[in-house]
Amino acid sequence: MSILVGKKAPDFCAPAVVDGNIVNNFKLSQFFGKKYILLFFYPHDFTFVCPTEIVAFQKALPEFENRGVQVVGCSIDSAYSHFAWINTPREKGGISGVTYPLVGDVNKTISSAYGVLAGSLSADASGNLVADGQLIAYRGLFLIDRGGIVRHEVVNDFPLGRSTAEEIRMVDALQHFEQFGEVCPMDWHKGESAIKPTSGDVGRYLSSK
């Protein structure tokens, strides 16, 4: 798995469900220069941990939107599967009410580009493709700034759900740095004191951002 922090976020064009409707040519780059992006991957529709995360991001959506952040979800399921899941009531295991984009990555090119695709393909002695492990996405998450640069990433194994509160904290830290040039220490939260670099390589690095 390659590290994308500090690099341009891989763009993509794929089918997605946006506010309950299927869009055939959803592009991540439509937000470059306009919004921050929180792109998260999850393994599969109609599973167990995944809906808790997807619904949690929907519940926290006003907090992200107030910070100028576009939330985007993605799995290797099709947009039609996403559509069916969104149209399934929550009491029956669905995610009805989710409005932010859910991207379909059936070709697995997006998950691969972001380095979160579990499993791999190889050829056997007869030249047939064989899958080693499940070709689904780990729980990867990427915070992308308005310039399209990845500034934060985290990847969890399948059983481990994420925290919307932590991702809001990371957005606050990035925006605080961009506004004030101060770096944010361990467990920093919005409104707390941060650190102003004064000298050395770290200061020169930060001043160049």
Whether the Cβ atoms of residue 5 and residue 152 lie closer than 8 Å to each other: yes
Measured CA to CA in angstroms, residue 96 lies from 15, 93, 103, 112, 139 at distances of 19, 9, 16, 28, 21
Q: How do strand 129-132 and strand 36-41 relate by DSSP bridges?
A: unpaired
Check if 13 is active-site: no
Whether the Cβ atoms of residue 185 and residue 176 lie closer than 8 Å to each other: no
Whether the Cβ atoms of residue 68 and residue 52 lie closer than 8 Å to each other: no
Which of 13, 50, 74, 184 is an active site residue? 50
List the catalytic residues: 50
